C-alpha cells in the first residue's frame, strides 16, 4: 500500500485551525453556527499503541508508519454552548484499490459517545478527501474532510438515524458544513 499521499494529508493537518461551521438539525428545522479553535499534533508512538489497546485491536504491522493524530478543540456555538475535547486517532489501512485507500479508524474517545471506538475510513488520493463513517448507538456519522490546499479544508458532516442492520442510511438528523483554515504551523 502506498501511504505517501495520506501521510501528506495528515502532515498538512498538523497545526492550529480556525473553523466556522453551520449545522442543520433536520427534525427541528433549526440552524446552529459555531466557531472552533482546533489544534492537531502528530501522534506519538506510545499514544499509537494506547489507541490500539483501548480499542482491543489486534496486532498491527509497522505501527509507527500508520497515519494518525492527536487533537484538542474548543467549540462555542451561537447559542452559547461550549464543548472542549481531546482525543487521539489512528488510521489502519486494510486495502488499496486504485487511488482509494480503505481501513479502520480508531479513536481513544468518540465525539458522540465518551468511549473508544472503531470506525471505517476511505481516503481518495485523486481529490484528497478523507471520509470517516462511525456507527454510534443512535446515529451513524459520515464525516468528510476535503483538503483543498495545505491551509484550507472543507468539512461535511452527515448524521443519519441509525438504521436496522442491513438497511440503508436514509434518514438524516443532522447536516453540517464547515470551512477550516490553518492559522499557524
C-alpha cell at 103: 481501513
For residue 176, which of 152, 162, 156 has the smallest C-alpha distance? 156
pLDDT at residue 72, rounded to an integer: 95
Work out the mean pLDDT of the chain and round it to a whole number. 94
Q: SS3 for 59? A: coil
pLDDT tens for each residue of 109-162 = 887 788 999 999 999 999 999 999 999 999 999 999 999 999 999 999 999 999
Please say if the pLDDT value at position 185 is more than 60: no
pLDDT at residue 157, rounded to an integer: 97
Given pLDDT bands bounded at 50, 70 and 90, which one contains residue 62?
confident
pLDDT tens for each residue of 30-47 = 999 999 999 999 999 999
Q: How far is CA 49 from the centre of its chain?
A: 19
Domains and CATH numbers, the chain: 4-184 (2.40.128.20)
Q: How far is CA 2 from the centre of its chain?
A: 21
pLDDT at residue 111, rounded to an integer: 75
C-alpha cell at 133: 463513517
Which contacts qualify for 82-86: CB closer than 8 Å, 24 or more apart? 85/109, 85/111
The H or E element spanning position 10 is helix 4-13
Please say if the pLDDT value at position 177 is more than 90: yes
Amino acid at each position: 500500500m502506498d501511504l505517501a499521499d495520506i501521510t501528506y494529508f495528515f502532515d498538512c493537518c498538523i497545526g492550529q485551525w480556525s473553523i466556522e461551521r453551520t449545522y442543520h438539525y433536520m427534525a427541528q428545522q433549526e440552524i446552529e453556527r459555531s466557531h472552533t479553535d482546533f489544534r492537531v499534533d502528530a501522534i506519538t508512538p506510545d499514544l499509537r499503541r494506547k489507541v490500539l489497546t483501548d480499542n482491543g485491536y489486534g496486532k498491527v504491522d509497522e505501527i509507527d508508519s500508520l497515519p494518525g493524530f492527536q487533537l484538542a478543540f474548543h467549540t462555542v456555538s451561537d447559542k452559547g454552548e461550549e464543548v472542549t475535547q481531546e482525543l487521539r486517532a489512528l488510521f489502519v489501512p486494510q486495502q488499496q484499490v486504485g487511488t482509494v485507500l480503505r481501513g479502520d479508524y480508531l479513536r481513544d474517545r468518540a465525539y458522540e459517545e465518551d468511549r473508544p471506538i472503531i470506525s471505517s475510513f476511505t481516503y481518495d488520493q485523486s481529490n484528497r478527501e478523507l471520509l470517516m463513517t462511525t456507527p454510534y448507538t443512535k446515529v451513524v456519522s459520515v464525516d468528510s474532510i476535503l483538503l483543498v490546499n495545505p491551509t484550507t479544508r472543507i468539512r461535511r458532516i452527515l448524521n443519519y438515524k441509525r438504521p436496522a442492520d442491513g438497511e440503508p442510511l436514509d434518514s438524516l438528523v443532522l447536516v453540517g458544513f464547515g470551512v477550516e483554515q490553518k492559522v499557524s504551523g
